[in-house]
């Protein structure tokens, strides 16, 4: 028996020649003819946004099975391993927003923007499903194949969301951009040993501080700039890369004292589980909090968005004028223009999500102009 995914791929291959159509009753035909769209559901968020012990008794750690999707985001992986997200890693917009709010106290508009961007760029907005890892047989191609004749790739796919200069994932051009990389994590530990604060509980130089992240991120840049001939660090990725460093300090820290110890950080990165006696932060972190921490990490060794030229030099971007260059680079240039060719429920979902990507930037929605099928 062919798996669902194999069938989809075989059909996709045959469609390259226009005259060949998938056999009647093929799974792809079934998807398009019979699978109705699903209106995006609105997240139900709790009024209680204070400190809280996480996980509760209803959310034990269970290691993922072989068919469960996991990917480049230690936050989402951890939430799925505890059942705050569906354990198979196939999730809806509302499930993401609710889970990151409950587990880490990520503020609604920031969470909604990230979830919407993931759904539009790497998921199926018609069915309100995205994989937190790679391609899944549970998520069929988009109606009309407006983003290629393949199943949506999931957030692991390099390009629109996943990018260069990660903390514990290698650049796609160099190595494994999806899974935890021990050698990169060792560098982070090295900088913690050098610049970390002391703790009577976890030991000297065991607290990950702003200074640790400032020095580590700069060293990663210097190293990557030389190692990756096709390094891309344009405004969208520049912002998410520093944003993810800020996530570590803001979301992985213990909510009781705002401190992040090496064992706790290792629990998230290495084992993708909440550390013992973890308390989520005592107030929601929005784009302002994350933006400010990102800026403080970057400004210790100021850098500009850019990319490597073929001769190996780093060439800073000339940043275009737009409402917000991060929003523009991330959500306008990076999402396929074909999203705007849709109608009906599919279009309603897309418009809802586009609105969410613009909201925390205080920008009006600018229709996407990116290439499909990348
Ligand atoms: C709200 C929905 C979220 C989405 C859609 C999302 C998606 C992603 C993606 C696609 C990446 C890979 C980017 C790359 O490094 O190339 C990533 C990385 C990362 N995410 Fe998330 N994320 C979300 C929420 C969170 C939360 C709540 C946390 C923290 C609690 C978090 C922590 C991180 C960290 C630390 C990284 C960098 C990993 C590394 O570089 O080693 N994320 N996320
Ligand atoms: C949140 O608070 C409002 C006003 O106090 C209340 O009407 C609403 O039911 C609460 N919602 C939840 C989910 O607790
Ligand atoms: C930690 O550092 C302090 C002061 O530098 C020192 O007195 C103490 O012995 C150190 N503790 C450990 C466990 O090494
Ligand atoms: C968080 O802080 C509380 C109170 O100090 C402590 O009991 C708990 O062990 C800490 N948890 C972690 C993960 O550091
Ligand atoms: C490398 O290429 C960039 C972009 O084309 C150019 O601006 C720069 O001057 C070149 N540098 C060297 C050393 O050739
Ligand atoms: C998003 O939708 C809300 C509700 O309809 C609206 O008030 C807001 O202006 C929209 N934001 C953008 C950026 O379009």
Answer whether residue 325 is part of any domain: no
- The mean per-residue pLDDT over the stretch 67-80 comes to 98
Answer whether residue 355 is part of any domain: yes
Answer whether residue 123 is part of any domain: yes
Q: Would you state the pLDDT for residue 323?
A: 76
Both 192 and 122 in one domain: the answer is no
Candidate of 349, 353, 355, 365 to mutate for ligand 6, largest count of ligand atoms within 8 Å of Cβ:
355
The answer on pLDDT for 201 being more than 80 is: yes
The answer on pLDDT for 4 being more than 70 is: no
Residue 45 CA, closest ligand 2 atom number: 13
> Radius of gyration (Cα) for the chain, nearest Å?
21
| Domain stop point among 317, 341, 363 | 317
- The mean per-residue pLDDT over the stretch 338-361 comes to 98
Both 295 and 343 in one domain: the answer is no
47 CA from centroid of ligand 2 (Å): 6
41 CB neighbour count, 10 Å cutoff: 11
Both 176 and 308 in one domain: the answer is yes
Q: In a 3-state reduction of DSSP, which class is residue 64? A: coil
CA 356 to chain CA centroid, Å, is 15
User: Is-contact 101 46, C-beta < 8 A?
Assistant: yes
Both 207 and 154 in one domain: the answer is no
Share of the chain above pLDDT 90, in %: 89
Bridging pattern class, strands 90-91 and 306-308: unpaired
CA-to-CA separations, 203 to 132, 192, 206, 263, 266, in angstroms, rounded:
35, 12, 6, 10, 15
Omega within 30 of 0 (cis) for the link into 347: no
Answer whether residue 323 is part of any domain: no
Distance CA 189, CA 241 (A): 18
Ligand 4 pocket, residue 258 CB under 6 Å: no
Instruction: Name 199's bridge partners.
Output: 203
> Smallest Cα–Cα separation from 80: which of 184, 148, 24, 155?
155
Residue 261 CA, closest ligand 4 atom number: 14
256 CA from centroid of ligand 4 (Å): 7
More confident residue, 349 or 11: 349
48 CA from centroid of ligand 2 (Å): 9
Both 133 and 194 in one domain: the answer is no
Distance CA 195, CA 198 (A): 10
256 CA from centroid of ligand 1 (Å): 23
Q: In a 3-state reduction of DSSP, which class is residue 38? A: coil
- What is the pTM (predicted TM-score) of this model? 0.92
Residue 311 CA, closest ligand 5 atom number: 1
pLDDT tens profile 111-140: 999 999 999 999 999 999 999 999 999 999
Both 153 and 170 in one domain: the answer is no
Candidate of 75, 240, 251 to mutate for ligand 1, largest count of ligand atoms within 8 Å of Cβ:
75
Both 142 and 275 in one domain: the answer is no
- Give the domain range for residue 213: 163-317
Residue owning the nearest CA to atom 9 of ligand 2:
47
Q: How many domains does the chain have?
A: 3
- 3-state DSSP percent of the chain in helix, strand and coil, to 5: 45, 10, 45
Answer whether residue 324 is part of any domain: no
In the chain, DSSP assigns E strands to 52-54, 90-91, 130-131, 197-199, 203-207, 232-233, 278-280, 306-308, 314-316
Both 43 and 30 in one domain: the answer is no
Q: Which two tokens stand for residue 110?
A: 């920031």
Q: Which two tokens stand for residue 17?
A: 């020649």
Binding pocket residue ranges, ligand 2, CB within 6 Å: 46-47
Both 240 and 190 in one domain: the answer is yes
Both 12 and 106 in one domain: the answer is no
- Across the chain, what does the average pLDDT equal? 92
Distance CA 289, CA 295 (A): 10
26 CB neighbour count, 10 Å cutoff: 17
Answer whether residue 101 is part of any domain: yes
pLDDT tens profile 256-310: 999 999 999 999 999 999 999 999 999 999 999 999 999 999 999 999 999 999 9
DSSP-derived secondary structure letter, 150 = S
Residue owning the nearest CA to atom 11 of ligand 3:
204
Q: What are phi and psi of 14, to 5 degrees?
A: -70, -25
Q: In a 3-state reduction of DSSP, which class is residue 87? A: coil
End-to-end CA distance of the chain: give it in Å, rounded: 29
122 CA from centroid of ligand 1 (Å): 14
Q: Would you state the pLDDT for residue 319?
A: 79
User: Is-contact 267 322, C-beta < 8 A?
Assistant: no
76 CA from centroid of ligand 1 (Å): 7
Which residues, other chains included, contact 320 with Cβ-Cβ below 8 Å and sequence gap of 6+?
Answer: 328
Residue 321: band (very low, low, confident or very high) from pLDDT cuts 50, 70, 90: low
Both 138 and 174 in one domain: the answer is no
What CATH number should be reported for the domain holding residue 282? 1.10.489.10
Binding pocket residue ranges, ligand 6, CB within 6 Å: 355, 358-359, 364-365
Instruction: Name 52's bridge partners.
Output: 280
Answer whether residue 66 is part of any domain: yes
349 CB neighbour count, 10 Å cutoff: 24
Residue owning the nearest CA to atom 7 of ligand 5:
315
Answer whether residue 67 is part of any domain: yes
Ligand 5 pocket, residue 309 CB under 6 Å: yes
Distance CA 233, CA 255 (A): 32
- The mean per-residue pLDDT over the stretch 24-35 comes to 47
201 CA from centroid of ligand 4 (Å): 10
Both 154 and 236 in one domain: the answer is no
């Amino acid at each position: 028996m062919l798996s669902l995914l194999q069938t989809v791929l075989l059909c996709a291959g045959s469609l390259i020649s226009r005259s060949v159509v998938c056999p009647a009753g093929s799974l792809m035909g079934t998807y398009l003819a019979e699978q109705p769209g699903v209106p995006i559901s609105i997240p139900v968020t709790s009024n209680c946004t204070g400190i809280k012990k996480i996980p509760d008794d209803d959310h034990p750690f269970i290691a993922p099975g072989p068919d469960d999707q996991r990917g480049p985001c230690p936050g989402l992986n951890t939430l799925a391993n505890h059942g705050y997200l569906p354990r198979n890693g196939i999730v809806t917009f509302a499930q993401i927003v609710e889970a990151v709010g409950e587990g880490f106290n990520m503020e609604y508009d920031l969470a909604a923007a990230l979830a919407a961007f993931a759904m539009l760029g790497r998921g199926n907005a018609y069915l309100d499903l995205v994989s937190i890892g790679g391609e899944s047989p549970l998520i069929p191609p988009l109606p009309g194949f407006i983003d290629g004749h393949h199943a949506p790739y999931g957030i692991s796919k390099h390009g629109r969301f996943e990018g260069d200069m990660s903390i514990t994932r290698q650049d796609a051009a160099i190595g494994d951009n999806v899974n935890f990389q021990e050698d990169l994590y060792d560098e982070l530990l090295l900088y913690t040993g050098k610049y970390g604060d002391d703790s009577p509980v976890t030991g000297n130089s065991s607290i990950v501080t702003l200074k640790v992240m400032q020095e580590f991120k700069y060293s990663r840049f210097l190293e990557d700039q030389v190692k990756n001939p096709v390094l891309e660090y344009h405004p969208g990725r520049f912002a998410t890369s520093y944003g993810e460093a800020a996530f570590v300090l803001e979301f992985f820290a213990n909510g009781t004292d705002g401190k992040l110890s090496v064992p706790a950080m290792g629990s998230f990165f290495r084992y993708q589980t909440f550390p013992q006696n973890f308390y989520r932060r005592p107030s929601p972190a929005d784009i302002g909090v994350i933006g400010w921490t990102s800026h403080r990490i970057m400004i210790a060794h100021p850098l500009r968005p850019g990319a490597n030229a073929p001769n190996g030099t780093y060439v800073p971007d000339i940043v275009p004028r737009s409402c917000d260059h991060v929003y523009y680079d991330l959500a306008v240039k990076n999402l396929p223009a074909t999203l705007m060719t849709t109608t009906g429920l599919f279009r309603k979902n897309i418009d809802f999500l586009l609105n969410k990507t613009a909201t925390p930037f205080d920008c009006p929605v600018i229709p996407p102009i990116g290439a499909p099928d990348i």
